[in-house]
Amino acid sequence: MGWTGCATPFFLSSFSSCSLDFFFLFLSLASPRPVGIGPSINPAGSCAGLVEHSVTGAARLSSVPARPRRVSARVATRTGDGGETSLFGKERVRKTDPRVEALGDLDETQAVLGLARSLAPRSSLGRELLELQRGLYLVMAEVATPRSDLGRLKERLDGAAVARLDQVLEVLKKKTPIEGRFVIPGENRFAASLDHARTVARRAERHVVACVDEGYISGEDLLPWLNRLSDVLFVLARASERGPRSRR
């Protein structure tokens, strides 16, 4: 389970030293996973449950369950050629709209966190970064949704989500002494990618604040969660610097 389901993230105890794809947020829990979140892989490298092997070792393709039929997404809609884009619902806005600016930075945070996840030295740590990415999708969905349509969102960040990140931060800080000095990122690739994600998350937070100031969103839980996100990434980067240094 990730941070959303356990009191203390399991990866913390081992410290000894998604384009703006809002579509998936509105699907039922039985819907297919977002792109990039595939079935679990066992240590031998095979996808459990997908292919059953006979005694002779030949794969019995007939045992592969049918995949749910998916509607192909249109990548080039050409509806934004005039400098406008859609929010959740029918509202069309200019691409210079504060909400679009915030969504772009949140999307960039997603991408950089994905890079960090690809560099994670342990699979458990990668799964926890994935939980942060899922939380970011909830932020993106709320920023992209007019207040009148918020009831259509199946899930939103709340005070409990902020409290969970607070708990994560406290556990990390206890295990990772933070020196009172300026930090020069780059001790290793993973730590550097976390610092990169942190700085982009801070920029995204500033643009979300602008959306709050304009009255587009409330920010009651979004702002504390984003603020805690960058704090968690900072401490996690410092903890990750204890590992081997990258070759230069």
Instruction: Write down the domain spans for the chain.
Output: 92-240
Contact 232, 201 (CB under 8 A): no
The whole-angstrom separation of Cα 129 and Cα 135 is: 10
Residues ≥6 apart with Cβ < 8 Å to 91? 146
3-class secondary-structure state, position 220:
coil
Which of 187, 197, 193 is CA-nearest to residue 246? 187
Q: Which fold has domain 92-240?
A: Hypothetical Protein Ta1238; Chain: A; (1.20.1200)
Distance CA 211, CA 218 (A): 9
Rounded distance between C-alpha atoms, residue 172 and residue 168, angstroms? 6
Tokens of 162: 């902020």
* Dist. CA 222–CA 224, nearest whole Å: 6
Alpha carbon separation from 206 to 10, 63, 105 (Å, rounded): 31, 51, 10
- pLDDT, residue 72, reads 59
- Helices 98-119, 189-213: inter-axial angle, 10-degree rounding: 160
Residue type, 90: K
Measured CA to CA in angstroms, residue 29 lies from 2, 25, 34, 79, 225 at distances of: 17, 9, 12, 30, 23
pLDDT computed for residue 245 by the predictor:
53
Distance CA 136, CA 118 (A): 17
Q: What is the pLDDT along the chain (248 residues), one digit of tens a residue?
A: 444 444 444 334 333 333 444 433 433 333 344 444 443 333 333 333 322 333 333 333 334 455 666 655 556 666 666 677 767 777 777 787 888 999 999 999 999 999 999 999 888 889 889 999 999 999 999 999 888 888 888 899 999 999 999 999 999 899 887 877 788 899 999 999 999 999 999 999 999 999 999 999 989 999 999 999 999 999 999 999 875 554 44
End-to-end CA distance of the chain: 36
Secondary element (H or E) of residue 107: helix 98-119
Tokens of residue 145, six digits: 């949704």
Q: According to the model, what pLDDT value does residue 131 have?
A: 93
Q: Is 78 left (phi over 0), alpha (psi -120 to 50) or beta?
A: left
So what's the pLDDT on residue 182? 82
pLDDT at 176: 85
- Rounded to a whole number of angstroms, the CA Rg of the chain reads 20
